[in-house]
């Protein structure tokens, strides 16, 4: 057995027991920290507001189906028709995702640990093709960058069928701020919030007679190059693809 092999060998006996005890201690400390009053997020860890051309969104569309009608039949759909998404429908999807987070985690938002909602729009009435940041206070989209469409759009996602959706909701969060406030528990909390927002968007889309699925989102380099997502101050968390069902 070489020295390298010995170094990589898993711990056994007493060493293994001590390692498990340390891991359990870290877990308990992290859980205790999550229950204590959280510290404020340092100002230097908060992202500064960014400007850009705004596109006003129409009032959110009203549901066309009841929640009980769509909930039990919810299924992931990855094939989409080439029809456009109404601006009012997109407005409802984005508003529901933001409302879920605002109502579920008001303390986090007040402390400066926000979720940021981005929209990759390809076929949305009244919205040019591009990547946008959603501004809930203004009910508007702030243009971040251009996006390719057609076959070139497939290079933005790992599974090319998502590039055929009318629009993608991409959820990011300030991991630096979450960790400063909660320790390692902050990452899990961000993921929980993003999951809740993504599923709220999904249920809203279903009630608008649309289809879609949650998934990982745009490729990391796409958000890094186009939205300054460095994975720390702005980290991609979750995404939702929306559109009309493809005709069979």
The confidence score (pLDDT) of residue 72 equals: 83
The confidence score (pLDDT) of residue 98 equals: 97
72-77-83 Cα angle (round to 5): 120
Q: How many CA atoms lie within 13 A of 246 on its CB side?
A: 11
pTM of the predicted model as reported, rounded to 2 decimal places: 0.80
Structure confidence by residue, pLDDT tens digits, 140-168: 999 999 999 888 998 999 888 899 999 99
The confidence score (pLDDT) of residue 31 equals: 45
- For 10, other C-beta atoms within 10 Å of its C-beta total 7
**Separation in Å, CA 66 to CA 118, 136, 169, 207, 223:** 27, 24, 22, 6, 35
The confidence score (pLDDT) of residue 147 equals: 92
In order along its 248 residues, the chain shows pLDDT tens digits of: 444 444 555 555 566 566 656 655 554 444 444 555 566 666 656 655 567 889 999 999 999 999 888 888 889 998 899 999 999 999 999 999 999 999 999 999 999 999 999 999 999 999 999 999 999 999 999 999 999 988 899 899 988 889 999 999 999 999 999 999 999 899 999 999 999 999 999 999 999 999 999 999 999 999 998 888 999 999 999 999 999 988 76
| Torsion sign over Cα 192, 180, 116, 172 | negative
CA-nearest of 135, 155, 133 to 144 is: 133
The correct answer on CATH 3.40.109.10 for the domain covering 54-243 is yes
Structure confidence by residue, pLDDT tens digits, 198-210: 999 999 999 999 9
The confidence score (pLDDT) of residue 159 equals: 87
DSSP reduced 3-state for 136: coil
| Distance between CA atoms of residues 219 and 210, nearest Å | 24
The confidence score (pLDDT) of residue 70 equals: 87
Residues 158-162: contacts with CB within 8 Å, 24+ apart?
A: 158/216, 158/219, 159/78, 159/215, 161/78, 161/79, 161/80, 162/78, 162/215, 162/241
């Amino acid at each position: 057995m070489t020295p390298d092999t010995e170094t990589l060998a898993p711990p056994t006996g007493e060493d293994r027991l001590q390692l498990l005890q340390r891991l359990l201690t870290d877990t308990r400390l992290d859980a205790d920290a999550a229950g204590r009053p959280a510290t404020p997020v340092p100002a230097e860890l908060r992202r500064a507001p960014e400007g850009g051309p705004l596109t006003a969104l129409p009032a959110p569309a009203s549901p066309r189906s009841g929640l009980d009608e769509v909930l039990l039949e919810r299924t992931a759909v990855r094939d989409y028709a080439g029809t456009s998404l109404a601006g009012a429908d997109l407005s409802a999807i984005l508003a529901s995702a933001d409302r879920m987070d605002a109502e579920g985690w008001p303390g986090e938002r007040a402390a400066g640990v926000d979720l940021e909602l981005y929209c990759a729009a390809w076929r949305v009435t009244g919205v040019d093709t591009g990547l946008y940041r959603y501004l809930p206070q203004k009910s508007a989209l702030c243009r971040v960058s251009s996006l390719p469409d057609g076959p070139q759009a497939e290079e933005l996602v790992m599974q090319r069928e998502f590039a055929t959706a009318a629009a993608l909701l991409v959820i990011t969060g300030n991991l630096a701020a979450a960790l400063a406030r909660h320790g390692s528990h902050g990452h899990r909390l961000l993921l929980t919030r993003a999951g809740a927002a993504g599923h709220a968007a999904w249920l809203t889309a279903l009630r608008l007679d649309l289809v879609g699925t949650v998934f990982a989102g745009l490729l990391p380099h796409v958000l890094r190059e186009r939205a300054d997502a460095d994975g720390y101050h702005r980290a991609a968390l979750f995404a939702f693809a929306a559109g009309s069902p493809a005709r069979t």
